[in-house]
Chains A and B, each alone.
Chain A
């Protein structure tokens, strides 16, 4: 069965541009998570949704970041305007129940020049 699908796999853009990352969770999973991974800070949770509703966005670094989940099969993470310090690998994960194991996509490697 299909896992978590993220797009694009790689994104290179210039500072100040808007960046949109996309995620399709595993069908039937109620929870969706957005993470950022860097060498300096490891894997950090940015925001998570339950049944399409944002539950905890305390990890979102600042107002330049926003996330939406318009339906159970799609979520976006948007950065506007982007900055070089946003360069990282962004992962989306989903899980079936609270406390359950999370299934990760293969990430989007974002480079802001």
Chain B
């Protein structure tokens, strides 16, 4: 069974204080690892897809990296508008077709 665990559950940062969110996963075959951002009252918004270990992707202050067991979402010099819940998910073509298995999310708060 595919499993995704995110840590920490919640993170409070001061504006400009860089940090990382972790997503650990267990799958028999990885089709892709997906990062989403979710604002209150909204649906998850797609950020990145990573397909293989060593891959990195960047968008503004966010950078996602992938190893064989985990992914990190690095946030550099965050701003209050980066406050949201960040979700990661994995797809496994061997067991689940187009299904994604989501983690519980990390709730990020950036204080001005």
Contacts and interface: CB of A to CB of B under 8 A. Distances in A.
Interface string B79-112: 0000000010001010011111011110000000
Nearest to B46: A101
Nearest to A44: B102
Interface residues of B, number: 23
B72 interface: no
Nearest to B98: A98
Per DSSP, chain B at the interface is: loop
B51 to A, nearest CB: 9
Contact of B43 (A44, A50, A56, A105): A105
A50 B98 CA distance: 9
Interface size bracket, A side: 20 to 34
Contacts of A43: 44, 87, 102
The CB with the most chain B CB atoms within 10 A, among A33, A43, A95, is that of A43
A42 B105 CA distance: 8
A103 interface: yes
A103 B36 CA distance: 10
Given A43-B102, A99-B31, A99-B32, A106 B42 contact: yes
B104 A102 contact: no
Contacts of A91: 43-44
A5 to B, nearest CB: 11
Contacts of B46: 101-103
A48 B99 CA distance: 8
B93 to A, nearest CB: 7
Give 10 closest A-B pairs by Cβ, nearest first.
A104-B43, A101-B46, A43-B102, A98-B98, A42-B104, A104-B44, A99-B31, A106-B43, A91-B43, A105-B43
7 contacts: A43-B102, A45-B99, A45-B100, A56-B97, A56-B99, A91-B44, A99-B32
